[in-house]
Amino acid sequence: MKKSYQVEIYNQKFNVKSDTDEKHVQKVADLVNKTIFEIKKNTNSVSSLNVALLTALNIADEYYKLKTKQLEKTRVVKKEIKETIHLIDECLDFVSSIS
């Protein structure tokens, strides 16, 4: 069941509905705020829209990198599992052949 939480992002209050707990929602809001203020500090943009778009791009970039890394790790683990199953099958075949 979704609950409603109030968070402050870039000095504006927002009501957010989420299935997660308030601590999680606040951590997400904190990440967005941290990214916004880092971008604001490192750019000359005074436009809130530009800062928001750059924040979205930065967070999406980080998400994409993590997702790609996770998918690659999953691929490697699946390959290792298949190799392990093959070795187990070979061992079982060998044991069967000598008994």
pLDDT in tens, 54-99: 999 999 999 999 999 999 999 999 999 999 999 999 999 999 998 7
Evaluate if residue 52 carries a pLDDT over 90.
Answer: yes
**Given this model, what pLDDT does residue 9 score?**
95
**Given this model, what pLDDT does residue 49 score?**
92
* φ, ψ for residue 35, nearest 5 deg: -65, -45
Residues 6+ apart with CB under 8 A from 58: 35, 39
For residue 93, what are the domain limits? Answer: 3-98
Within 13 Å and on the Cβ side, how many CA atoms surround 4? Answer: 3
Distance of alpha carbon 32 from alpha carbon 44, whole angstroms: 19
Mean pLDDT of the chain: 95
**Given this model, what pLDDT does residue 46 score?**
77
Query: Structural domain tally of the chain?
Result: 1
